[in-house]
Structure 1
Amino acid sequence: MDGIQHRIVKVNGINMHIAEKGQGPVILFLHGFPELWYSWRHQITALASLGYRAVAPDLRGFGDTDARPEVTSYTCFHVIGDLVGLIDTVAPSDEKVFVVGHDWGALMAWFLCLFRPDRVKALVNLSVVFNPFGSNDNLIEALRAYYGDNYYMCRFQKPGEIEAEFAQIGTETVIKEFFTFWTRDRIFLPKGKGFGRPPNTPIALPSWLSEEDVKYFTTKFDKKGFTGAMNYYRNINL
Structure 2
Amino acid sequence: MNMMMMNYQVDHQRIKTNGIWMHVAEKGMGPLVLLIHGFPEFWYAWRHQINFLADNGYHVVAPDLRGYGDSDSPLSPSSYTMMHIVGDLIGLIDHFGQQKVYVVGHDWGAVAGWYLSLFRPDRVMGFVALTVPYYPRSPNCKTVQSIKKIYGDGCHVIQFQEPGRAERAFARYDYTTVMKKFLLITDKMIAPPDMEIIDFLETKWSLPPWLTEEDIQVYAEKFEESGFTGAFNYYRAMDLTWELLAPWQGSKITVPVKFIVGDKEFGFQSGGAKDFVEGDEFKSLVPDVEVVIIDGHHFIQEENPQEVSNQILSFLRKHPMDL
Matching of residues 60-75 of structure 1 within 5 Å: 60-75=66-81
- Kindly provide the CA deviation profile for residues 40-72 of structure 1, in whole angstroms up to 9, marking residues without a partner as x: 011000000011000000000000000001111
Identify the residue that residue 175 of structure 1 maps to in structure 2: 179
Identify the residue that residue 18 of structure 1 maps to in structure 2: 24
SS at match of 1:194: helix
Tell me how far 1:146 sits from its aligned partner. 2.6
SS at match of 2:171: helix
Q: Is 1:143 paired with 2:147?
A: yes
After TM superposition, the score normalised by the length of structure 2 is: 0.68
Tell me how far 1:35 sits from its aligned partner. 0.8
Tell me how far 1:133 sits from its aligned partner. 8.0
SS at match of 2:238: coil
Identify the residue that residue 52 of structure 2 maps to in structure 1: 46
- Kindly provide the CA deviation profile for residues 4-54 of structure 1, in whole angstroms up to 9, marking residues without a partner as x: 100111101101000000011000000000010000011000000011000
Identify the residue that residue 214 of structure 1 maps to in structure 2: 216
Measure the CA separation in 1 of the matches of 2:64 and 2:118: 22
| Number of corresponding residues | 233
- Kindly provide the CA deviation profile for residues 177-217 of structure 1, in whole angstroms up to 9, marking residues without a partner as x: 1110102x44337535734368xx55221111111111011
Measure the CA separation in 2 of the matches of 1:56 and 1:192: 32
Q: Call closer, same or farther: CA 1:237–1:192 in 2, change over 3 Å.
A: closer
Tell me how far 1:136 sits from its aligned partner. 4.5
Matching of residues 1-238 of structure 1 within 5 Å: 1-92=7-98, 95-129=99-133, 131=135, 134-183=138-187, 185-188=188-191, 190-192=194-196, 194-196=198-200, 202-238=204-240
Tell me how far 1:90 sits from its aligned partner. 1.7
Identify the residue that residue 287 of structure 2 maps to in structure 1: none
Q: Call closer, same or farther: CA 1:9–1:132 in 2, change over 3 Å.
A: closer
Measure the CA separation in 2 of the matches of 1:111 and 1:197: 30
Contact 1:137–1:237 under 8 Å retained in 2: no
Q: Call closer, same or farther: CA 1:236–1:148 in 2, change over 3 Å.
A: same
Tell me how far 1:134 sits from its aligned partner. 4.0
Measure the CA separation in 2 of the matches of 1:26 and 1:159: 37
Contact 1:60–1:66 under 8 Å retained in 2: yes
Contact 1:96–1:119 under 8 Å retained in 2: yes
Tell me how far 1:114 sits from its aligned partner. 1.1
Contact 1:68–1:228 under 8 Å retained in 2: yes
- Identical residues among aligned pairs (%): 47
CA RMSD across the alignment: 1.9
- The one-letter amino acid paired with 2:150 is Y
Q: Call closer, same or farther: CA 1:54–1:144 in 2, change over 3 Å.
A: same
Segments of structure 2 that go 5 or more residues without pairing to the other structure are 1-6, 241-323
Measure the CA separation in 2 of the matches of 1:2 and 1:76: 30
Q: Call closer, same or farther: CA 1:197–1:9 in 2, change over 3 Å.
A: closer
- The one-letter amino acid paired with 2:165 is E
Contact 2:190–2:197 under 8 Å retained in 1: no
Measure the CA separation in 2 of the matches of 1:50 and 1:221: 31
Contact 2:156–2:197 under 8 Å retained in 1: no
Tell me how far 1:135 sits from its aligned partner. 4.0
Tell me how far 1:2 sits from its aligned partner. 3.2
Measure the CA separation in 1 of the matches of 2:161 and 2:140: 17
Measure the CA separation in 1 of the matches of 2:16 and 2:25: 14
